[in-house]
Amino acid sequence: MNVFGKVAPIAIALGLLPMAAHAGMAAAGDNGGSIERQRIWFSEARAALRKGGERAFANYLSRLQQSNYPLTPYLEIWQTQRRLESLDDDAVAAVLARYGEIPEARALRNDRIDLLAKRGNWQVLADQMALVSNKSEEQQLLELTALWNLGRKDETAQQVAALWLAGKAIAPQLQPALEYWRSSGHPNRSELWQRIAAQMQAGDEAAAMATGKQVSDEERGWLDWWNSMARAPRETLENWRFEATQSPARDLIAFGLRKLAKSDLDAAWGLLEEGQSQLGSNDLQQLRNDLAVRAGWNLHPEAESWLMAVSPAARSSLAWEWLVRTQLRKQEWQAAAATIAAMPEPLRQSATWIYWQGRCAELQGDDTSARAAYARIAGERGYYSFLAAERLGQQHAIEPVQPIIDSGSYASQLNEPGLRRARELMAIGESGRARLEWRRQLDGNAPLRSRAAAQLALEWQWYDQAVYAAKVAKAEENTAVRYPIAYHEIVRREAAGQSVAPALIMALIRQESIFNADATSSVGALGLMQLMPQTAKLVSKKHKLKLRSLDRLREPEVNIALGTRYFSELLESFDGNPAYAAAAYNAGPHRVRKWQPQEGARIDPEAWIESIPFSETRHYVQQVLSYAVIYDLRLHQRHGTLIDMMQRGPQPLEAVASNP
C-alpha cells in the first residue's frame, strides 16, 4: 500500500464539504451568482487590482457588492492601500472607520501612519498611534516624533531618556528631544554608567566605548575594566582589587560573573564565594541566586548546596522550585517536603507542589497526609491532578463527551460577518487570514458566543480554532471539542504498523499542531506532527518512503506516516519509555541522554520528568502523557493511567524514603 497516496489539500476539502452550515453561508451571499462564481469574481478582481486594471476591478467589485460576498471588504481595503498616496486622508479614514475591525486593515493603518509622518500631519498621527497596541520600534519612533513636533517636549524627552538609559541608539529625528533632556543636567554620573552597563550586557562594546567618552578623566580606567571583563572574565575577576558596593564596580562584577557562568559555572561560583566580602549583601544574594538557578538547569552536582546557600528571603521562585527539583531527583523526599513547606504561600499552593507535598509524604510512609494533599487537586484536570486521582484510586476528572451548546443556539453565528469571512477565507485556501479573522471575532466575546463558535469550528473540521474558541469560553468540560478525534483512521493504521499506542500519536498531534495540517513553526517544523525537514528526509530514506517535496509534509497521510515512524524510533532508543521519547521528540535525543541518570543509577520516573531542565520540554511531556490518557478513554473507553505509562521501560526506584 502506498501511504503517500495523493490527498486533497485541506483548504479545498473544507471548501467542498457538503455541510449545512457552509450551505447556509453560501446562500447568505448568493444574490448575484453562486458562491463558486463569486469566488471566481473575487480572484479576477484581485488579479485586476495587481495589474492596474481599474475598469475590470470596478466591474467585479460592483458584482460582489451586489452579491453580498463576505470578502468584498478585502478588495476595498486593498484598493485603498494601492491608491493611498493619491487619496485624501479623509477618504482613507472613512475606509478604516468602516472596516477597521477587520485584521486585514492593520496593514492599511500602518501604511497610513507612515504617510502621515511623511506629510507631517502630526496630530492625526498621534491620534492614530493611541489606537495601536503592541507598537513596533519604528512606530514608537514615529509616535515620539509626533509628540515632539506637537510641542509635548517634557513627555517626549522623558521617553527618549528611558531609551537612552536602556542603551538604545537614538534616531536623528529624536536628537532634539535628547538635547532637551541634556539641557536639564543629564546625564549624571550614575546615568552614564547605567547606559554603559546596558550596552555591555547587550554585547555592544563599541557603543559602550562611545558612551564612555563622556565620563570624567579620573573614571576612564573603568572602561578598560569593562573591555577586559568582556574578553576574559575569569582572569579579570581573579585580578579584581576593588570593593563592588557602588557603580560601576558592582555592575562590572555582576556582568563578569554572569558571563563566566555561561562557560565555566564552577569557576564563577568559586570566584563569587572568594570575593563575597567585596560585595554588598543584596548583590551577593542576587548573584548566588542567579548562578545557583543556572546550576539547577544544568543538573550540576552542587546545585542543591548552592541553592541552599541563597538565603530564603532572597530566593526567587525559580530558585525555590529548582531546590525542590534537585532534591526530588536525588530521592531526598524528607528534604524536598521541608523545602515545599518553606516555600512562599502562592508558590506552595500550586497544583505542582501540592502534588509533590503528597507524594513526598507517601514515600515517607505518611499515607494520611499524602491522601489529604492528593484530595485537594484530584477533582481537577491536568497532569498533577490526574496523578493525584490515580494515587487515590479514583478515575480522572474527564467529563463525558457532550455537545458544547445546543445546535439551534449557534445558528445565528452563521450570519456574523467576521465568521463568514473566516469560513470563506478557509474555503479559498487563505488559512492564515482566516485564523486572524476568527480570533479577532472571539476577542472579548461573551462565553456563550465563544461556545457556539467552538461548536461551529468543530463541525467545519477546523480543529485548532475549535480548541481555541473553547479555551476562550472556558468550556473545559467538553472533551469532543478540546480533544477531537481527527485523522483517526490514518493514526490507527500507522500506529498499528509501528506497534505504537494510537492514543500516544493522537496526543502528540494534539500537542504539536492541534490537528492543523497546515501548521508551520517559527523554526520550520511542518504539518500535524511538526516534523523538521531534515528529520523527515532521514526517516523517509530509512523507511524507503519517497518524499518528493517538503510541501507533502502538509498532507496528513504523509506527515503521520513519517511522524509515527520517527516516534517509534525514539521509543526504541529509550527502552519503550514514552516520557523519554516525548522529551526527545521535543528537545532532541542528545539532550535527553544528557538528562538521564548515570549508568547504573535509577531515578523515580515522576522525579525525572519534574527535573527536566527545559520548562518547555517538561510541560510538553506532561501534556503529551495527560492527553494520551484522555485519548485512551476517547478511543477505547479505557481508563489508562499516567503511572503505568511512566513505569514502562527501565525499572523505577521503589517508593522508599531516601535521605542523606
Residue 120, C-beta contacts closer than 8 angstroms, at least 6 positions apart: 149
pLDDT of residue 16: 30
pLDDT over 50 (residue 28) = no
Q: Which residue has the cell 496593514?
A: 107
Q: Give the E-state strand segments of 396-491 in sequence order.
A: none
Residue 9 has phi, psi (to 5 degrees) of -55, 145
Residue 198 contacts residue 165 (beta carbons within 8 Å): yes
Residue 300 confidence class, pLDDT cut points 50, 70, 90: very high
Domains of the chain and CATH, by start: 10-150 (1.25.20.10), 488-646 (1.10.530.10)
Q: Which residue has the cell 554608567?
A: 193
Residue 401 confidence class, pLDDT cut points 50, 70, 90: low
Q: 575-633: per-residue pLDDT in tens?
A: 999 999 999 999 999 999 999 988 767 899 999 999 999 999 999 999 999 999 999 99
Residue 414 has phi, psi (to 5 degrees) of -60, -25
551-to-148, 274, 517, 547 alpha-carbon distances in Å: 50, 58, 11, 9
pLDDT of residue 32: 57
Give the helix ranges, DSSP H, for 232-350. Answer: 233-238, 249-263, 265-274, 281-297, 303-309, 317-329, 333-342, 345-348
The Cβ of residue 260 has, within 10 Å, a number of other Cβ atoms equal to 24
Residue 546 confidence class, pLDDT cut points 50, 70, 90: confident
The residue with greater pLDDT, 280 or 241, is 280
Nearest one of 504, 477, 444 to 632, comparing CA atoms: 504
Min mean pLDDT across 6-20, 68-82, 266-280, 557-571 is at 6-20
pLDDT of residue 445: 63
Residue 641 has phi, psi (to 5 degrees) of -130, 150
Nearest one of 297, 317, 293 to 307, comparing CA atoms: 293
Q: 192-221: per-residue pLDDT in tens?
A: 999 999 999 999 999 999 999 999 999 999
CA-based Rg of the chain, rounded to a whole angstrom?
30
pLDDT over 50 (residue 480) = yes
Determine the distance from the C-alpha atom of residue 591 to the mean position of all C-alpha atoms in its chain, rounded to a whole number: 21
Q: Give the E-state strand segments of 5-106 in sequence order.
A: none
pLDDT over 60 (residue 11) = no
Most confident of the following: 14-23, 174-183, 417-426: 174-183
CA distance 634 to 479: 8
Residue 5 contacts residue 557 (beta carbons within 8 Å): yes
Q: Which long-range contacts (CB under 8 A, 24 or more apart) does 510-513 make?
A: 510/483, 510/627, 510/631, 511/620, 511/623, 511/624, 511/627, 513/464
Strand partners, 520: 526
CA distance 155 to 174: 13
Residue 212 contacts residue 237 (beta carbons within 8 Å): no
pLDDT over 60 (residue 168) = yes
pLDDT over 50 (residue 654) = no
pLDDT over 80 (residue 60) = yes
Residue 85 confidence class, pLDDT cut points 50, 70, 90: very high
**Which amino acid makes up residue 206?**
A
Give the helix ranges, DSSP H, for 364-446. Answer: 367-377, 383-391, 417-427, 431-442
CA distance 379 to 390: 11
CA distance 48 to 641: 59
**Which amino acid makes up residue 347?**
L
pLDDT of residue 406: 53
